[in-house]
């Protein structure tokens, strides 16, 4: 029986954080590089109005998500976890992106127990519903909000998520490190239950 709940963001967490860049550069006639991604809000990075970016996303969002590049190690780690942990994806993607999201997860052979497409970045309530034991995220503001609600968060290090972190948020470099931390937390939880 799987009793440990791992909640995972999608964009920038299991996908490469700058995989949207070639699409945006072409459309907006920019020449940004991955090292230039120092803020989370893409429209600000591009120097355009939010409405302009939203029009672009409405037109090309599904295509970008379909072509998203998976981060190194994600497939192997999540497949290994699936025998032991409950896997819940919680994303700010809108519900209209469900089909392309599920297709991408299936094509990349990533198993899961549930998925929530929220249409916004407030993930606390869904994490509570999922009984989240640990949350893997790439957005700084989300990590802080989740931490303030009492969740442990692993924040994947990106150029756009710098800042001081509370003690229940750990900055991580890659999925190998994430795997080690999750295994350690699960082992601690098992030992605690045995002791009780």
What's the pTM value of the predicted model, to 2 decimals? Answer: 0.93
> Angle of helix 74-81 relative to helix 175-195, nearest 10 degrees?
20
pLDDT of 32 > 80? The answer is yes
Give the angle subtended at the CA of 105 by the CAs of 102 and 109, to the nearest 5°.
135
Tokens of 97: 């992106």
Cα separation values, 31 from 25, 140, 194, Å: 6, 25, 56
> Angle of helix 21-28 relative to helix 50-66, nearest 10 degrees?
130
pLDDT of 195 > 70? The answer is no
CATH number of the domain where residue 144 is located:
3.40.50.1000
* CA dist., res. 185 & res. 196, Å (int): 17
Number of domains observed in the structure of the chain: 2
- Tens digit of each residue's pLDDT (9 = 90 or more) over 140-183: 999 999 999 999 999 999 999 999 999 999 999 999 999 999 99
pLDDT the model gives residue 196: 46
Mean pLDDT of all residues in 120-129: 95
Same domain, 36 and 8: no
pLDDT the model gives residue 187: 83
Same domain, 84 and 58: no
**% pLDDT > 70, the chain:** 95
- Domain of residue 61: give its range: 21-66
* CA dist., res. 182 & res. 6, Å (int): 8
Same domain, 58 and 75: no
- Among the residue ranges 41-45, 105-109, 113-117, the one predicted with the least confidence is 41-45
Same domain, 136 and 86: yes
- Tens digit of each residue's pLDDT (9 = 90 or more) over 47-79: 999 999 999 999 999 999 999 999 999 999 999
Instruction: Indicate the DSSP class of residue 27.
Output: H
Same domain, 108 and 177: yes
Please state, rounded to an integer, the average pLDDT across all residues of the chain: 94
Same domain, 76 and 168: yes
Same domain, 77 and 174: yes
Cα separation values, 76 from 68, 145, 189, Å: 17, 29, 23
Same domain, 106 and 176: yes
Same domain, 80 and 42: no
Same domain, 112 and 29: no
Per-residue pLDDT band at 3 (split at 50, 70, 90): confident
Same domain, 116 and 62: no
Same domain, 76 and 149: yes
Kindly report the backbone phi and psi dihedral angles of residue 150, in degrees, each rounded to the nearest multiple of 5, phi listed first. Answer: 100, 5
* Residues constituting the chain: 196
């Amino acid at each position: 029986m799987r009793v440990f709940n791992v909640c995972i963001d999608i964009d920038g967490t299991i996908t490469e954080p700058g995989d949207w860049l070639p699409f945006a550069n072409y459309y907006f006639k920019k020449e940004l590089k991955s090292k230039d991604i120092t803020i989370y809000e893409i429209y600000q990075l591009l120097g355009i109005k939010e409405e302009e970016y939203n029009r672009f996303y409405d037109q090309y969002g599904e295509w970008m998500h379909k072509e998203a590049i998976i981060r190194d190690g994600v497939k192997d780690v999540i497949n290994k976890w699936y025998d032991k942990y409950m896997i819940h994806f919680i994303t700010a993607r809108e519900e209209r992106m469900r089909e392309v999201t599920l297709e991408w997860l299936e094509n990349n052979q990533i198993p899961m127990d549930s998925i929530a497409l929220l249409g916004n970045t407030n993930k606390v309530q869904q994490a509570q519903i999922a009984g989240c034991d640990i949350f893997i995220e790439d957005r700084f503001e989300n990590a802080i909000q989740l931490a303030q609600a009492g969740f442990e968060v692993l924040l994947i290090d990106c150029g756009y998520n710098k800042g001081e972190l509370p003690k229940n948020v750990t900055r991580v470099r890659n999925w190998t490190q994430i795997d080690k931390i999750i295994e350690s937390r699960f082992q601690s939880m098992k030992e605690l239950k045995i002791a009780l």
